[in-house]
Amino acid sequence: MAADLHTVPFRGERLRDLAEMEGLSMRDLAAALGTTQNRISKIVNTRSRLTPEIIEAATTTYGVPAAFFSVVPAQQDQAAITFRKRASSSIRADKRITRLFREAARLWRTASESSGFRTVDMSGLRELVRDNRVEDVAVALRKEDGLGSEDPIPNMVRFTERRGVGVILGLDPLLSQRPTNECNDLGDKDYSGVSSPSRFEDRPLVTTVAPQPGAVTRMTIGHELGHIIFDPDLQVSPRAREIEEKRAYSFASALLLPESMMRRRVYEDMTLNSYLRIKADYGASVSAIVVRAQRLGVISSQRARSLHIQISSRGWRDNEPVPVSDEHPTLLHQATQRAWPVNTIRAAAEDVGVKHSLVSAWTETKQPAVTAVGETNTNVVSLTERLASRRRDSPSRSASVCSGGWVL
């Protein structure tokens, strides 16, 4: 239901949020709304009232529902945001990504709760997490998902959603058309992944900022899941998180590249072409496999350095061979459909106070093109198909039906 501009209490501070979300200065926002920066400043600092005229101008110009201005920050909004980004990213861009994530997290939290989806429960991992046993936590989660000790994870997005964690791939719709060349495991982007771990958040969300190659997406989602599990009290600034970032990276690597497999298949003088075979089986970039091998002591630091030089000289930082198929979230889409079964996008936007176009972009469910086994029209590796072809008698976990009819 649309908010009544004359009776609903609105918060002027949300004008600052709107400016951040749109990547604008307060001066630019004021000009777009047909008023002065001084007036906007007074409204934001609660020295002047947010009027229906300003709200109408904002809804018309930027497509936000009036309910956007009545949103009250939740306790979870005080948690730190984890960025995987380049140091060269601008402050304004950082604020835009932070604001988009806050809006997305509120949408996921509301949809998840209203639809009756379960909360995250990591209590069984408490001792392992407390003792910082990264490898053991990865093993425990893989076992919980029914995977064997060396099985690949067929679909990292679905694996994460089955833990009760929401996933959005492409937090910033403006970046949705950027190229997704296969590259190193950070992705050739200003930003890679975002999350906001907090002990007060039992419906966490992880996102990528822009579309990424399949192998990069899998590592990014695993990395952010690592923050959710290990860093519930994360408060330090992004540039002071060396320990936390290394741990999250190690966790994602342990999930995707089981230690026993690495010790069995990788050896010191193995060629890059042999690393590509592991990539095809496990959906991790060659760069990530080399790093994992070095950290496990399977190859020496000198050999790892040589391999990284070869990767760069071959142009694989920008375009790595054997692309991995894209994965697609489904949990947020299902939750919004259940929470608002009629006019879903509009109803969700009005109820949660999120821009209609963002709800649409974030809840879109894309169906990957299906290629029959034996067809020759693609070089893209589908881990689900590879796993199914190996184990014809075992159902794939990539689209299982969970309790309550949720398809994950």
Report pLDDT digits (tens) over 340-385. Answer: 999 999 999 999 999 999 999 999 865 444 333 333 334 566 776 6
Chain-wide mean pLDDT for the chain? 87
CA–CA distance from 85 to each of 200, 239, 322 (Å)?
A: 25, 10, 25
The pair phi, psi for residue 62, each rounded to 5°, is -115, -5
Check residue 401 and give its pLDDT: 67
**Distance separating alpha carbons of residues 113 and 117, to the nearest angstrom:** 6
DSSP of 152-179, one letter per residue?
Answer: --S-HHHHHHHTT-EEEE-S-GGGTTS-
Q: Which residues of the chain have pLDDT under 70?
A: 1-8, 84-88, 176-191, 235-240, 365-381, 384-401, 403
Is the distance from CB of 62 to CB of 18 less than 8 angstroms?
A: yes
Q: Where in the chain is the domain with CATH 1.10.260.40?
A: 14-72
The pair phi, psi for residue 83, each rounded to 5°, is -105, 140
Is the distance from CB of 10 to CB of 70 less than 8 angstroms?
A: yes
Domain 14-72 class in CATH: mainly alpha
Q: Which of 190, 238, 192 is nearest to 216 (CA)?
A: 192
pTM over 0.75: yes
Is the distance from CB of 207 to CB of 193 less than 8 angstroms?
A: yes
The DSSP secondary-structure symbol of 206 reads: E
CA–CA distance from 54 to each of 137, 346, 400 (Å)?
A: 50, 22, 48
pLDDT digits (tens, 9 = 90+) for 59-68: 999 999 999 9
**Distance separating alpha carbons of residues 312 and 254, to the nearest angstrom:** 24
Is the distance from CB of 55 to CB of 66 less than 8 angstroms?
A: yes
Q: Which residues contact 51 (CB under 8 A, 6 or more apart)?
A: none
Proportion of the chain in helix, strand, coil states, percent, rounded to 5: 50, 5, 40
* Residue 407 DSSP SS3: strand
Is the distance from CB of 87 to CB of 190 less than 8 angstroms?
A: no
Is the distance from CB of 176 to CB of 189 less than 8 angstroms?
A: no
* Residue 6 DSSP SS3: coil
Radius of gyration for the chain, computed over Cα atoms and rounded to the nearest angstrom:
22
Residue 246 in tokens: 């290394």
Q: Residue 289, exposed/middle/buried by CB under 10 A (0-12, 13-18, 19+)?
A: buried
Q: Give Cα 149 to chain centroid, integer Å.
A: 26
pLDDT above 90 coverage of the chain, percent = 70
- The number of helix segments (H) and strand segments (E) in the chain equals 18, 4
Indicate the residue type of 403.
S
Check residue 178 and give its pLDDT: 54
* Residue 324 DSSP SS3: strand
Check residue 184 and give its pLDDT: 39
